[in-house]
Structure 1
Amino acid sequence: MGLFWNKKSSNDERKLESQVEEQTLPDDLQDYLTTKESQLSNREFKELLRRQSANAEASKEAEKASTEDHGQNYLDLVQGTNKEGEENEIKLPNAISTIKEMKRPKEYKNFDFDKYRRENDEKESVLINCSEIQNAFYKCLNKQTIWDRISAVTSLNSDDCTKLADFFMACTDIQKKAFLMFDYSTLQSIDELKSASKQIDYSFSKSFQSIEDVQNKEKFMEYTKELRRQRELFFEKYGK
């Protein structure tokens, strides 16, 4: 009220004074109301109100237009038409169109390779290469009687089944390291994976026929040389 206090008519002043008296304002607030002078004329104050009202109305109109336009654009996209009724090239996908566009598993370039790698990782390939020794160990156990097994446990000398078990464990350990030498995990084709596994198994089978061969230093050194030779042949063949 202080903005145009001195511009009020006498009737307005009496009415205002009556309202203020009825409200029993504190003395300090009453002094402020009766002494505060306006910094704006009535014309300036009305102009300020007019501008504020116009700005508020313009803001509402802009927000309304934006909402309606966005809704219409989305509707046009769904219906596949533009504002002139012409068909748009862009249409929202549906379940049927999505299924039709999806590639079948075998259509992917590396599907067969990825599948083969999963089924023939280093661990699995090592077990495959050593499976003959493992099978021989199981057959040996089936031939033994209970008393044979008890005697093998109490005997100081290893029996045939124990030797086969040791040979199988040595095979898995040695070939695991050989697969690392061939960088098996970085190979990029099924042919490379098969070739590496085959050459590793060849080197092992050529050098060792029993656990005693593995424990023989000279034979182990021959195996090392053969493995290196096979690796160089492999790298040369595939340009590694």
Structure 2
Amino acid sequence: MGLFWGSSKGGSNADQSRTAAVEAAGGGSGGDNNDGMISEDLAQYLETRESQLSNREFKALLRRQSANAEASKQAAESSNGGTGEGGDFLSMIQAKGPQAGTEVSAGETGAHSQVEIPKLPTAISTANSMKKPKEYQNFEFEKYRRENDEKEVVLTNCSEIQHAFYDCLGRQKIWDRVTAVARLDSDECTKLADFFMACTEIQKKALLTFDYASLETVDEMKAASRKVDKVFTNAFHGVDEIRDKEKYMNYTKELRREREDFYAKFNK
């Protein structure tokens, strides 16, 4: 019972403990049967040892152990359905249905319908749950659209001019820069800066003529970006050419031709 025995300071408490142990285990001195009596060797051991527990503590311990034993018994009976049969869940789901040619009552039919056999994934069900080719294509398109919006395309197409501007700043001396600003002259770096700003503005408007924001495939977006960049690169090589009205008019005509070719290719 998990009791710890040892020497006690008072002999009267030891006698009371031994008496309580005999009465609790045997059901009292007036019990009609001897089934609950402790064994002879345990009785002899109790006679030679003195308990450290008082009579009250010993009885409380016995009551707790009895209550735990009763609760365990009731839990075991409830898990078996109160019938004493120990069928587990695995045996229930693996139980075979009624044999062909045998009659099944309504109650048995209801009992069989309550037990559902779990369905394991198969190769077909796994393939059906995977993304369809069209869904995968839409996923790639949305990803490309997020990473290549109008602003990103314009910066990419004008990146060469931006790089030339940064390189010019790295080569230019500070005194030359201050002198150019003082004279209000447009030095090389200033012209590259103006050319870069003009490139971003012009190509942004060109993408609007291609309806870049409403394109539906990655190929269309790539084709529109290439055509806009090609027309701008062929028409202008510096900010002074952008300010030339004739060159700018030729640019707009070439851009219109490329846009019509784009619409014809993609049935727009």
Band of TM-score, shorter chain: 0.5 to 0.7
Matching residue of 2:229: 201
Which among 223, 242, 253 is matched to residue 225 of structure 1? 253
Distance 1:107 1:89, change over 3 A: farther
1:175 matched to 2:203? The reply is yes
Q: How well do the aligned residues superpose, as a CA RMSD in angstroms?
A: 3.2
Which among 178, 187, 205 is matched to residue 159 of structure 1? 187
Amino-acid identity (%): 59
TM-score (norm 2): 0.53
Equivalents in 2 of 1:209, 1:200: separation in Å?
15
1:84 matched to 2:111? The reply is yes
Aligned 1:28-107 pairs, distance under 5 A: 83-86=110-113, 87-88=115-116
Matching residue of 1:192: 220
Equivalents in 2 of 1:89, 1:197: separation in Å?
57
User: Displacement of 1:109 after TM fit?
Assistant: 3.2
Q: Which runs of 5+ in 1 are unaligned?
A: 1-78, 92-96
Matched AA of 2:149? D
User: Displacement of 1:155 after TM fit?
Assistant: 1.9
Name the SS of the counterpart of 1:212 in structure 2: helix
Equivalents in 2 of 1:108, 1:189: separation in Å?
13
Which among 128, 131, 147 is matched to residue 175 of structure 2? 147
Name the SS of the counterpart of 2:112 in structure 1: coil
Matched AA of 2:150? E
Deviation per CA, 1:107-163: give whole Å up to 9, x if none. 633111111111111000000000010000000000011112211221222000000
Name the SS of the counterpart of 2:252 in structure 1: helix
1:130 matched to 2:144? The reply is no
Distance 1:225 1:107, change over 3 A: closer
User: Displacement of 1:83 after TM fit?
Assistant: 3.5
Count of residue correspondences: 158
Distance 1:239 1:85, change over 3 A: same
Deviation per CA, 1:178-201: give whole Å up to 9, x if none. 000000011111111110000000
Which among 236, 240, 253 is matched to residue 212 of structure 1? 240
User: Displacement of 1:85 after TM fit?
Assistant: 2.0
Equivalents in 1 of 2:177, 2:199: separation in Å?
23
TM-score (norm 1): 0.59
Matching residue of 1:64: none
Equivalents in 2 of 1:200, 1:192: separation in Å?
12
Name the SS of the counterpart of 2:186 in structure 1: coil
Deviation per CA, 1:206-229: give whole Å up to 9, x if none. 111000000000000000000000
Matching residue of 1:13: none
Equivalents in 2 of 1:108, 1:89: separation in Å?
34
Equivalents in 2 of 1:227, 1:181: separation in Å?
9
